[in-house]
Amino acid sequence: MRYKTLLASSILLFLLGCNAGTDEQQKNASPYFDLKGYFEKEANRLTKAGPTVRKTAGINGVYETRALKIADWKRELSSISNADINKASWRGMFSVTRSENKVIYRSDNKKVPVKELCVFYRNNTASGFLVLIRNNNALYTSTDSLTYYPDSLYRIKKNQQIKLLAKKNYEISIKFR
């Protein structure tokens, strides 16, 4: 009798141990596209390649353009990589719509500033991104539109309204040569 109880207890502990590992792996798995990981790799790739780009920056319609080499791609791409939707507190707050060439993640939750991430695909490889971010409180409203196509275009458009101040529109675009 003691042998059967010991055997049953051992089997139960083994099965619980196996399930705990599986649960831990599931907790760490990213349910959505790994935007942060993608742009870490992209920053490393661009740093090694060292492309000359055409960067245009503007505020309220006044623009300046320069040809240059970007020294810190990780910092340059941080606006889009920081829009990662895989935060633990945001799990389950995005709907997912899939089609042949794109996946769209959307959230209408007020606590989540990233409202949409659209990942475009070509030959089962991510080939473009569109991110929409909205922040709104009693003093401040902003809307950001971030677009990225590898080796082609990176654009940030920001509309900002601070109470009692004039509305500002910012745009930064990088075109790869």
Radius of gyration of the CA atoms of the chain, in A = 22
Separation of CA 29 from chain center: 15
If asked whether residues 2 and 38 sit together in one domain, one would say no
Q: Residue 83 has what pLDDT?
A: 95
64 inside domain? no
When comparing pLDDT for 20 and 42, which is higher? 42
Joined together, the tokens standing for residue 176 give: 């790869």
Where do we find the tokens 């991104």?
Answer: 129
If asked whether residues 12 and 39 sit together in one domain, one would say no
If asked whether residues 124 and 149 sit together in one domain, one would say yes
If asked whether residues 41 and 127 sit together in one domain, one would say yes
pTM of the model: 0.81
The number of folded domains in the chain is 2
- Place 21 in a pLDDT band, splitting at 50, 70 and 90: very low
If asked whether residues 93 and 21 sit together in one domain, one would say no
If asked whether residues 78 and 23 sit together in one domain, one would say no
Domain that holds residue 113: 31-49+73-167
Please tell me the distance from the alpha carbon of residue 96 to that of residue 86, in angstroms, as a whole number. 13
pLDDT of residue 3 exceeding 90: no
If asked whether residues 11 and 36 sit together in one domain, one would say no
If asked whether residues 85 and 154 sit together in one domain, one would say yes
If asked whether residues 41 and 126 sit together in one domain, one would say yes
If asked whether residues 38 and 82 sit together in one domain, one would say yes
Contact 12, 19 (CB under 8 A): no
- Give the residue from 28, 148, 36 showing the smallest Cα distance to 84: 36
In Å, how far are 35, 36, 42, 149 from 45, measured between CA atoms? 15, 14, 5, 14
Length of the chain: 177
Q: Could you give the dihedral angle defined by the CA atoms of residues 106, 110, 113 and 119, in that order, rounded to the nearest 10 degrees?
A: 0
Where do we find the tokens 């709907």?
Answer: 95
3 inside domain? yes
48 CB contacts (<8 Å, ≥6 apart)? Answer: none
If asked whether residues 88 and 115 sit together in one domain, one would say yes
- Place 30 in a pLDDT band, splitting at 50, 70 and 90: confident
pLDDT of residue 107 exceeding 70: yes
Contact 151, 132 (CB under 8 A): no
